[in-house]
Amino acid sequence: MTTTQTGEEAAATQPPHRDRAPRRTGNSLNRQTRSGWLFVTPMLVLLGLFLVLPILMALWVSVSDWSGRGSPFSGNVGFVGPDNYQPLLSEPGLSRQDFMLSLRNTFYYVVGVVPLQTVLALLLAVIVNQRFLKGRTFFRTAFYFPSVVSSVAISLVFLYLFTGTGAVNQALDAVGINGPTWFADSRGLIHLLGNSLGLWNIDSPPSALADHQVLGLSWWDWLAGPSVALSAIMMQVVWTTAGTFMLMFLAALQDLPADVEEAAMVDGATKSNVFRYVTVPHLRPTILLVVTLGVIGTWQVFDQMYVMTQGGPAKTTLTPAYLSYQAAFNQQHWGQGAAIAFLLFALILVLTSAQRWFLRDKDEWARKQALRRQRRRQREEAAA
Amino acid sequence: MRTRATRKSLLLATALAGGLALTACGGGGFDSSGGSGGGDGEGSSADGPVTLNMLIASSGDAETQAVQDAVKKWGDESGNTVKVTVASDMNQELAQGFAGGNPPDVFYLDASQFANYASNGSLYAYGDQVDNVDDFYESLRSTFTFDDQLQCVPKDVSTIALEINTDSWKKAGLTDADIPTDWDSLASVAEKLTTGDQVGLAIGPGIDRAGAFVVENGGWWLNEDNTEGAAEDPSVLDALQYVQDNLTKGSFAMSSDLDTGWGGEAFGTGKAAMTIEGNWIKGAMTSDYPDVKYTVAPMPEGPAGKGTLLFTQCWGVAAQSKAQSQAVDLVNFLTTDEQQLAFSDAFGVMPSRQSAAGDYESKYPEDKAFIEGADYGHGPITAPGMDQVIADLNSKLEDFKGADLASVVKSFDTNADAALGQ
CATH number at residue A254: 1.10.3720.10
Which residue in B4, B16, B32, B321 has the most chain A C-beta atoms within 10 A of its own C-beta, making it the best mutation to test that interface? B32
Whether A59 maps to a domain, the answer reads no
Whether B14 maps to a domain, the answer reads no
Q: How far is A116 from chain B (nearest CA, A)?
A: 29
Other CB atoms within 10 A of residue B195 CB: 12
Provide ipTM, 2 decimals. Answer: 0.80
Which residue in B7, B116, B124, B254 has the most chain A C-beta atoms within 10 A of its own C-beta, making it the best mutation to test that interface? B116
Residues B389 and B253 in one domain: yes
Instruction: Give the number of domains in chain B.
Output: 2
| Chain A residue at shortest CA distance from B5 | A33
Residues B203 and B340 in one domain: no
Cβ neighbourhood burial of B46 (10 Å; 0-12, 13-18, 19+): middle
List of chain B residues with pLDDT < 70: 1-46, 422
Range of the domain at A109: 86-188+225-358
Contact by Cβ (8 Å): B46, B326: yes
Whether B245 maps to a domain, the answer reads yes
Q: Output the 3-class SS for chain A.
A: CCCCCCHHHHHHHCCCCHHHHHHHHHHHHHHHHHHHHHHHHHHHHHHHHHHHHHHHHHHHHHCECCCCCCCCCCCCCCECHHHHCHHHHCCCCHHHHHHHHHHHHHHHHHHHHHHHHHHHHHHHHHHHHCCCCCCHHHHHHHHHHHHHCCHHHHHHHHHHHCCCCCHHHHHHHHCCCCCCCHHHCCCEHHHHHHHHHCCCECCECCHHHHCCEECCEEHHHHCCCCEHHHHHHHHHHHHHHHHHHHHHHHHHHHHCCHHHHHHHHHCCCCHHHHHHHHHHHHCHHHHHHHHHHHHHHHHCCCHHHHHHHCCCCCCCCCCHHHHHHHHHHHCCCHHHHHHHHHHHHHHHHHHHHHHHHHCCCHHHHHHHHHHHHHHHHHHHHHHC
Per-residue pLDDT of chain A (384 residues; tens, 9 = 90+): 344 444 444 444 444 454 444 455 556 778 888 999 999 999 999 999 999 999 999 999 999 998 888 888 888 888 998 999 999 998 888 899 999 999 999 999 999 999 999 999 999 998 888 877 788 888 888 888 888 888 888 989 998 898 888 899 999 999 988 888 888 888 899 999 999 898 888 888 888 888 888 888 889 989 999 999 999 999 999 999 999 999 999 999 988 888 888 898 898 888 888 888 888 888 988 999 999 999 999 999 999 999 998 887 889 999 999 999 999 988 888 999 999 999 999 999 999 899 888 877 778 888 888 899 899 898 888 877
Whether B45 maps to a domain, the answer reads no
> Strands B106-110, B272-278: parallel, antiparallel or unpaired by DSSP?
unpaired
Residues B280 and B230 in one domain: yes
Residues B318 and B351 in one domain: yes
Segment A343-372, tens digit of pLDDT:
999 999 999 899 888 877 778 888 888 899
Q: CB distance B32–A29 less than 8 Å? A: no
Residues B144 and B227 in one domain: no
Residues B305 and B341 in one domain: no
- Report chain A residues whose CB lies below 8 A from the CB of B101: 70-71
Whether B39 maps to a domain, the answer reads no
| Chain A residue at shortest CA distance from B390 | A94
Residues B149 and B162 in one domain: no
- Report chain B residues whose CB lies below 8 A from the CB of A70: 31-35, 98-99, 101, 320
Whether B4 maps to a domain, the answer reads no
Question: Which 125-154 residues of chain A touch chain B by CB within 8 A?
Answer: none
Q: Which of A105, A121, A119 lies closest to A241, judged by CA? A: A121
- Amino acid letter for position A237: V
Whether A262 maps to a domain, the answer reads yes
Residues B413 and B265 in one domain: yes
Contact by Cβ (8 Å): A16, A24: yes
Residue contacts between A and B (CB atoms, under 8 Å):
118
Other CB atoms within 10 A of residue B58 CB: 20
Q: Which of A373, A207, A233, A380 lies closest to A317, judged by CA? A: A233
- Report chain B residues whose CB lies below 8 A from the CB of A331: 116, 385, 387-388
Predicted local distance difference test score (pLDDT) of residue B422: 63
Whether A297 maps to a domain, the answer reads yes
With b meaning 16 or more CB within 10 Å and e meaning fewer, what string describes A198-231?
A: eebebeebeeeeeeeeeebbbbbbbebbbbbbbb
Q: Which of B13, B95, B396 sits opposite A332 (nearest CB)?
A: B95
Residues B391 and B318 in one domain: no
Q: How far is A10 from chain B (nearest CA, A)?
A: 34
Instruction: Give the number of domains in chain A.
Output: 1
Predicted local distance difference test score (pLDDT) of residue A72: 86
CATH code for position B237: 3.40.190.10
Range of the domain at B321: 51-157+312-376
Q: CB distance B32–A71 less than 8 Å? A: yes
Segment B65-110, tens digit of pLDDT:
999 999 999 999 999 999 999 999 898 899 999 988 889 999 999 9
| Chain A residue at shortest CA distance from B398 | A314
Whether B200 maps to a domain, the answer reads yes
| Chain A residue at shortest CA distance from B13 | A44
Whether B32 maps to a domain, the answer reads no
Q: CB distance A94–B33 less than 8 Å? A: no
Positions of E strands within B222-327: 252-254, 272-278, 294-297, 310-311, 313-317
Residues B298 and B186 in one domain: yes
Other CB atoms within 10 A of residue A298 CB: 22
Predicted local distance difference test score (pLDDT) of residue B46: 67
Residues B180 and B150 in one domain: no
Predicted local distance difference test score (pLDDT) of residue B108: 95
> Strands B153-154, B158-165: parallel, antiparallel or unpaired by DSSP?
unpaired
Contact by Cβ (8 Å): B117, B90: no
Q: Which of B5, B30, B257 sits opposite A71 (nearest CB)?
A: B30
Whether A79 maps to a domain, the answer reads no
Predicted local distance difference test score (pLDDT) of residue A25: 55
Whether A257 maps to a domain, the answer reads yes
Q: How far is A124 from chain B (nearest CA, A)?
A: 35
CA distances from B312 to B62, B137, B205, B350 (A): 18, 11, 19, 10
Whether B166 maps to a domain, the answer reads yes
Residues B361 and B405 in one domain: no
Q: Which of B201, B194, B156, B142 lies closest to B172, judged by CA? A: B194
